[in-house]
């Protein structure tokens, strides 16, 4: 397979006696300036700096719409070494600009070595307009985030190494907090569409669901493709609708169930227009399943509150207790807000909890056919311990639409 190498990245090792001039900066809102070497797009971008502990799946992470408005720091040092391809992209809305604002890695990007690679990672970052930086101590940056929380920052890349540091400091200090930001409009679908693609298999690629048993409407707050594939795997014909679709329009499609997707930003801000819709669907006893932002939306719809987290959860190795089975699952996570468990109403039972910090990771309603989880059962990247939740959703639809409940 011919691999598009693109433009060689700026971080190639120079001759030993050549002075190295920093070609990228990460300027934090408190005035801290971290020097490194530029990758990807040339220019500057604003965002909230988080860290992700996953050792694989950097392409899936950087195309996950839930990271909109953020600069992702990878704690694993070797990022980009297997290249990128067109199959592992997670965003559905390819017309939208990349949600991720920047990428922070430790080691320079090497040439790809993988049978599925189609493009050099640096060329791919340029194509998606993602500014990158390498050559800095990502462990120290991660420790700073753990200690002080996720800072706002400007990530800047200039091949000639010339920066107006004072201006970048002022720009970083002026970035608004993620609190109160509705970032869904930038990542949601512009119009409804049908989804029937199933999960990837070695030697076969992606398949198609040709005999669906249930009809699901997925409200797109920034949905990931692998969520939709697992719904199709479970026997669902999926119709994706924009985040602002009304409850009446959703019910007019006569779905067997509704899925509330993942997405970026402050759930309370998105909830200004989405919570009334979800509340109406729940009142209609529509079987409902939510993931990530969708979980937070469901909690808000029944009267709970959400809160900003100190450092968030971003990784593919998080332990979660499932109280419905008594088992501990290792799951993928990506969120900077959480449901405040102390505000859950009596009809919302906690079903999952993080074993890292005790934060809420799942609820089920006792008076309506609805449940949701904070983590990402679709993995992509990450473990597959929670795939059963998609089948649980189908079973809920089967029960709700059985002759006994007609």
The catalytic residue positions are 292, 376, 378
Length of the chain, in residues: 406
Residues 6+ positions from 323 with CB-CB distance below 8 Å: 350, 351, 352, 353
Helical (H) or strand (E) element with 134 = strand 131-134
Pairing verdict, β 288-291 and 370-373? parallel
Of the candidates 159, 136, 175, the one whose C-alpha atom is nearest the C-alpha of residue 8 is 159
CB 303 within 8 A of CB 279: no
CB 258 within 8 A of CB 287: yes
Of the candidates 227, 244, 245, the one whose C-alpha atom is nearest the C-alpha of residue 236 is 227
How far from 207 is each of 210, 220, 233, 386, CA to CA, in Å? Answer: 9, 22, 9, 21
Alpha-carbon span 250 to 281, nearest angstrom = 9
Q: How far is CA 87 from the centre of its chain?
A: 17
Alpha-carbon span 21 to 315, nearest angstrom = 32
Phi, psi (rounded to 5 degrees) for 373: -135, 150
How far from 327 is each of 92, 291, 320, CA to CA, in Å? Answer: 32, 19, 8
Alpha-carbon span 369 to 379, nearest angstrom = 24
| 3-class DSSP state of 308 | strand
Alpha-carbon span 198 to 231, nearest angstrom = 8
Q: Is the peptide bond before 381 cis (omega within 30 degrees of 0)?
A: yes
Alpha-carbon span 48 to 101, nearest angstrom = 9
User: Across the chain, how many H-helices and E-strands are there?
Assistant: 9, 19
Q: Which stretches within 193-345 are classed as H helix? A: 225-233, 247-252, 267-283, 293-301
């Amino acid at each position: 397979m011919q691999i598009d190498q693109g433009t060689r990245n700026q971080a190639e090792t120079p001759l030993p006696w050549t002075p190295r001039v920093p070609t990228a900066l990460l300027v934090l809102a408190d005035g801290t300036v971290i020097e490194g070497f530029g990758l990807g797009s040339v220019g500057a971008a604003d965002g909230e700096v988080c860290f992700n502990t996953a050792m694989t799946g950097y392409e899936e992470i950087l195309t996950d719409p839930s990271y909109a408005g953020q600069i992702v720091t990878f704690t694993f040092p070797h990022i980009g070494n297997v290249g990128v391809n067109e199959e592992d992209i997670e965003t559905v809305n390819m017309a939208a600009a990349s949600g991720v604002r920047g990428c922070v890695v430790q080691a320079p990007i090497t040439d790809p070595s993988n049978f599925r690679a189609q493009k050099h990672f640096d060329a791919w970052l340029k194509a998606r307009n993602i500014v990158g930086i390498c050559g800095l101590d990502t462990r120290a940056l991660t420790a700073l985030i753990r200690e002080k929380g996720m800072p706002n920052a400007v990530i800047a890349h200039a091949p000639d190494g010339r920066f107006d540091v004072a201006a970048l400091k002022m720009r970083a200090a002026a970035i608004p907090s993620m609190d109160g930001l509705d970032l869904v409009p930038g990542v949601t679908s512009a119009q409804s569409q049908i989804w029937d693609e199933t999960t990837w298999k070695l030697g076969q690629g992606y398949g198609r669901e040709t005999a669906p048993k249930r009809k699901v409407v997925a409200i797109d707050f920034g949905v990931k493709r692998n969520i939709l594939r697992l719904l199709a795997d479970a026997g669902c014909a999926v119709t994706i609708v924009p985040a602002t679709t009304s409850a009446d329009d959703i019910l007019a499609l006569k779905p067997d169930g509704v899925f509330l997707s993942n997405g970026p930003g402050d759930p309370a801000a998105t909830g200004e227009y989405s919570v009334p819709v979800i509340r109406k669907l729940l009142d209609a006893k529509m079987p409902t399943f939510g993931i990530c932002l969708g979980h937070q939306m469901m909690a808000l719809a029944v009267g709970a509150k959400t809160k900003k987290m100190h450092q968030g959860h971003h990784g593919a190795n998080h332990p979660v207790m499932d109280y419905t089975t008594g088992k501990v699952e290792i799951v993928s996570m990506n969120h900077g807000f959480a449901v405040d468990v102390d505000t859950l109403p009596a009809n919302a039972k906690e079903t999952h909890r993080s074993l890292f910090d005790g934060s809420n990771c799942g609820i089920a309603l006792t008076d309506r056919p609805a449940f949701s989880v904070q983590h990402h059962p679709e993995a992509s990247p990450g473990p597959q311990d929670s795939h059963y939740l998609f089948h649980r959703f189908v079973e809920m639809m089967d029960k709700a639409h059985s002759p006994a409940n007609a």
